[in-house]
A and B are shown apart, each in its own frame.
Chain A
Amino acid sequence: MATRAADPAGPLIDIEGLTKRFGSFTAVDDVTFQVRRGEVLGFLGPNGAGKSTTMRMLAGFMIPSAGTARILDHDVQTDSVAARRVLGFLPEGAPTYPEMTVEGFLRFCAKIRGYTGAELADRVDHALGLTTLRGVRLQPVETLSKGFKRRVGLAQALLHDPPVLVLDEPTDGLDPNQKHEVRGLIAQMAPNKAIVISTHILEEVDAVCTRAIIIAGGRIVADETPQALSERHASGKLEDVFRALTMEGAV
């Protein structure tokens, strides 16, 4: 964790030439990018473009066919436990154990992260507070609605206040109020962290992201600020830029 001290301005996430092939199909093709502290990177692309696959490789869950991913200088393949210690990861669909209570589930994650006693209780309570889950803390996860489940997944990723957050569709299934809250939360945490969120809600990019990468057919087709991106099209709408970039990528 102290490795960054030597170079405080260096990237917290460093992905180089990341490639994933499934048989003859290339899901992610030579993806390279860095994310620095204070950046909120919106990871955009149509379904099946390779967003989740890239995030899974970054989280060390999927083994890349080629290339490397590093989190705070820890290679996610060769130094995976150290890399995952400084990572908060919300997997696609926010999976949780259905029979556990919200608090039980978060306590389990906190325990695995090495917290004990009063600190463990504090961490769990803080995460419950951030995601406004205190009201349902004793409810089994399976009885919760989709939006609550998503927030349980988010709470799990925030437990240890990690410097790097990778969130796969954090606002999917939330109602407009909850979306607003989560975006507020991301914006509030942004200055001290490197955050990657995948989404196909384009308004979200305008709302919280400082930078956007559009991926289509496994390749990066754009990497700039949301503003610069929307200026690419005469209409000035991100939606039109997105369509133009990803449709041509598909052909």
Chain B
Amino acid sequence: MNAILTIAGRELRAYFATPVATVFIVIFLVLQGALTFNLGQFFDRGIADLNPFFTFIPWVFLLLIPAITMRLWAEERRLGTIELLLTLPITQTQAVLGKFLAAWAFCGIALLLTFPFVIAVNILGNPDNGVIASGYLGSLLIAGAFLSVGAAMSALTRNQVIAFVLAVAVCFLFAVASNPIVNDFLSHTAPALGEFTRRLAITDRFADFTRGLISLRDVIYFATFIGFFLFLNTVLVDQRKAD
């Protein structure tokens, strides 16, 4: 556990030692603000909740999270530090978990910085803060899910652009799996597959959280999802570390 936290701490400090952290957080807040207030009609709706805010979270994350994860392993390989890191007395799983936790904590910090939305909506009306808290929990979980995908893709290639594009593509598949367009198409052509993809869809699970529903099934879904991709990440690091 100590080694995991040491790796996570180093990694997290590295975000803030470079402009990565600032750029990410500023763009995230600007995008979320613009989308919530303009497209989401935050004021015009006349309802005191953060639904417009949460609606856009998966899509903003879809774009920005692969930008964090693309460097996660690719950068280590470019610098050659992967050879240093993986010859220290740690297991590969510890390295994978440490890096993932750092990225997750970083997303948590970005989410925390959206607190003015919560304050605003509380000043303007009487929102259900329980629903808001559950929405934030869902946001954190969807961030974790996308991060685990992105981290695995970063271990797959030493090219950061390829890592980014692959991560966006895979996250996109999970995000649109329950979309009516995809579902109608699949239920006509392959009904069994249609049901399967609907269950895999990440956005439906997230929608439950934004309605204030925290179900054990959804939590298990996210835990399994993240666990699977972290396992894949460990396997990929092991196979490709020395390429």
Residues on A lying within 8 angstroms of B by beta carbon are: 56, 59-63, 80-82, 84-85, 87, 89, 91-93, 95-100, 108-109, 111-114, 153, 156
Contacts and interface: CB of A to CB of B under 8 A. Distances in A.
B90 A81 contact: yes
Interface string B65-89: 0000000000000011101101111
B14 interface: yes
Given A109-B88, A112-B89, A95 B81 contact: yes
A115 B10 CA distance: 16
Contacts of A156: 84
Nearest to A80: B91
Nearest to B14: A99
Contact of B14 (A60, A63, A96, A97): A97
Contacts, number: 68
Interface string B11-39: 00010011000000000000000000000
B242 interface: yes
A247 to B, nearest CB: 29
Given A99-B18, A112-B3, A91 B89 contact: no
B79 A98 contact: yes
Interface of B: 2-3, 6-7, 10, 14, 17-18, 79-81, 83-84, 86-91, 238, 241-242
B7 A112 contact: yes
A82 B88 CA distance: 10
B81 A97 contact: yes
Contact of A95 (B2, B80, B89): B80
Nearest to B10: A108
B10 A84 contact: no
A85 B80 contact: no
A87 B80 contact: no
